[in-house]
Structure 1
């Protein structure tokens, strides 16, 4: 049995800005199910403490850089996983999301905030919090936890460290003055350590110092070793390739289950797939779209940013609107994308619906109601929405990168093989995206073939069980 300290800056349902929160909720539960002892360590954000009105107790106090930090303990809602909350005023006394204020600007002291969080994790990992619990593995996630392996490297008698890259593009960059302010060891300021072209990179701290590195799909593990996707860190990734593995994320198969989903209008499964269309009719009515069960409905849920290929969707919008289909979009991001999509919805009522923001229940309804799901991402470390789509018999149209390449497969030839479950384009151009959509729409006109693709999609097991076993195999080699 391994004792795992799982360090993360967000975890669902306590706090979420992206897919990391889902992983941080599901993987520890899967590890617990396999018989391991897991504790999540998380900053005690103001919004988190407001949600946890009961079941929280102080279990330790840590002396960090002349300050006393309170460590509180609770359970992750809906699970038996212990959560350790580090009460740092720079987290607990602020509104806004974990990384930026309400105006979208990064907090000016993020380097200090996540350094203090890393120090707390370091001391707990070394059992200096008197919790009578010493982990064998410290599992860190993304740049916010990147200093933890670096700090632990200073201690000969330390737990093994694993660092998971969820998105290499967010490197946690800060000026040299921040490095000086934190008074980190001078030896850390080196191009083989955390120095990155004259700046400090928290992400690089994790990559350089962790005993083992994972990322969230096999294809992404290969891609980040190349300049195109390596974000300036591809040389380090190639250097560490013997200690690098790609493990696909799973999904919460209970939370995302069309057979029992409380968010959708009509439940369905592989045997009652005919009920899926009732969700489409309900969503069409909810959004004021033309009621037509045969009209293919295309869905998109995600951030409206360059990475997600929004410009590809916009570039081929005239062609898309010339075909008989409807489009539903949910997301927020760059103002110019929000404005452009909203304008299209306003000029095409009955055909296009755009909702700016994010709503978990609405996301479930889009997944259940759509026939086709668009994911033309320029890069996608793993991707979760294509997995949700497959679970709901909604066939994805994806760019062949990262986890999309590893999970969505297009049929070759006329016959539908058992692996075919979507539509794939190889290069991120508007023309190739539209060609893939056209192939999907053409296939939709053949109900028997379409249903077989749906059944293929819904039969795949995307639970965390296999992924958790792969992580445990890595832990066992290290500890």
Structure 2
């Protein structure tokens, strides 16, 4: 089975969020399970030098992109046994940032078209092409509409994964003729038409044989008006091909027994290192060193989507309790300023590090007792799984992947891996934090049991990858 995994980003080359993690870890696990999988990415200028130096040029050619005749270079490297292809064009990918450019619609139209044009040039035709988010959503559309006449490409099966439905790629329908070089055949309600515009993601949903998203609960949520972001009717129409497969986390990177980014290693059976990590972090951040105080960690983008309006509303009240709050992240200026203010007001209880720091993030996961993640919506979420891996109990809003991965504490049975709340309001969130604090301070045996439960959960990619392989095989069996 040959699978081409197409993504707008993938760690360790480029990463802005969870998609970068998935596009790194899932193909790696598919390869481990015997799949001939390869990854195709744009060749952004932001690639770290150590990887740029490993690139070799495989081919270069030109193709027609609407009215333009454009250059396409194919560069490649092998990392951890996995083959990566990089679509090279300085005009589109030598930019100040990966996303957020004025011509993103054309940039990723080029990328999607180049992916298909590349296949015959490198003489490797996949059985499955697995596309991700809006950046590659037009690949299935183009295979059906523009390239259907190419015999070598006719049997490629198309899987499309929605990582975040908020970002859809909505542009003028003139893109179809001016950039994609097609007619308006796909500009229909069961194609790419979205009111008076075209919608890349809608096209990906309608023209793929299977649509997946990153948790079973999110798969249900996005068929509703509350979470569907205007595509709920499209997803209802395509519900027969919609699946929710929970993401995993990379266990080779997120391992408290070997993680090089944390000063003290530990395991579910030998927990002393976790306390040492807390004391070390307190010292380095200038907080009072106290092994017994409940440390609440936060590692996130500081946005409304992540629920920080709730945190802002109740932080003053929370900081009256016997807690230390360590926050790491960047985002909306109002939140950055607010949390910095609270650090100034409560220097012995609050640290707000307005930054993106992978090493510090790992230390917070490993040092904290609780991890606060009150997202308004969360397709999957990785932070709650990482925190559990490090024995830090998540406190989450029951949505999407958070509901699928965090088992709420049951005081009667001792079961659970964290704490959760259903109503999205700050009072309910605060009461849930207080409930966690009560268990931490007053029921130490129950707390340690929850920590063991959390650390023993399997959030590796092994099972999710097997589910994707089963889905791929299902498609090939339908031929």
Please report the TM-score for the alignment, with normalisation by the length of structure 1: 0.95
Provide the secondary structure at the position in 1 that maps to 2:141.
Answer: helix
1:120 aligns with 2:114: yes
1:77-476 alignment, distance < 5 Å: 79-96=80-97, 98-99=98-99, 106-124=100-118, 127-129=119-121, 131-154=122-145, 155=148, 157-182=154-179, 183-417=181-415, 420-445=416-441, 446-476=443-473
1:72 aligns with 2:75: yes
List per-residue Cα deviations over 1:190-220 (Å, max 9, x = no partner). 2221121222211112111111000000000
Q: Distance in 1 between matches of 2:56 and 2:225?
A: 47
> Does the 8 Å CA contact 2:176/2:184 hold for their aligned counterparts?
no
Q: Distance in 2 between matches of 1:233 and 1:290?
A: 50
Provide the secondary structure at the position in 1 that maps to 2:352.
Answer: strand
1:477 aligns with 2:474: yes
Displacement after TM superposition at 1:50 (Å): 3.5
Displacement after TM superposition at 1:179 (Å): 4.1
Q: Distance in 1 between matches of 2:196 and 2:26?
A: 35
Displacement after TM superposition at 1:153 (Å): 1.1
Equivalent position of 2:22 in the other structure: 23
> Does the 8 Å CA contact 1:376/1:398 hold for their aligned counterparts?
yes
Q: Distance in 2 between matches of 1:191 and 1:117?
A: 25
> Does the 8 Å CA contact 1:152/1:158 hold for their aligned counterparts?
no
Q: Distance in 2 between matches of 1:343 and 1:175?
A: 43
Equivalent position of 2:35 in the other structure: 36
Provide the secondary structure at the position in 2 that maps to 1:153.
Answer: helix
Instruction: Please give the root-mean-square deviation of Cα atoms over the aligned residues, in Å.
Output: 1.3
Equivalent position of 1:55 in the other structure: 54
Structure 1 alignment gaps of length 5 or more: 100-105
Provide the secondary structure at the position in 2 that maps to 1:353.
Answer: strand
Q: Distance in 2 between matches of 1:191 and 1:133?
A: 34
Q: Distance in 1 between matches of 2:197 and 2:341?
A: 40
Displacement after TM superposition at 1:75 (Å): 1.8
**The 10-residue stretch of structure 1 (286-295 or 386-395) with the greater mean CA deviation from structure 2:** 286-295
Displacement after TM superposition at 1:413 (Å): 3.5
Provide the secondary structure at the position in 1 that maps to 2:188.
Answer: coil
> Does the 8 Å CA contact 1:212/1:243 hold for their aligned counterparts?
yes
Displacement after TM superposition at 1:177 (Å): 4.3
Displacement after TM superposition at 1:47 (Å): 1.4
Displacement after TM superposition at 1:91 (Å): 3.6
**Aligned length, in residue pairs:** 464
Q: Distance in 2 between matches of 1:384 and 1:49?
A: 24
Equivalent position of 1:102 in the other structure: none
Displacement after TM superposition at 1:63 (Å): 2.3
> Does the 8 Å CA contact 2:176/2:183 hold for their aligned counterparts?
no
Q: Distance in 2 between matches of 1:52 and 1:89?
A: 17
Provide the secondary structure at the position in 2 that maps to 1:316.
Answer: helix
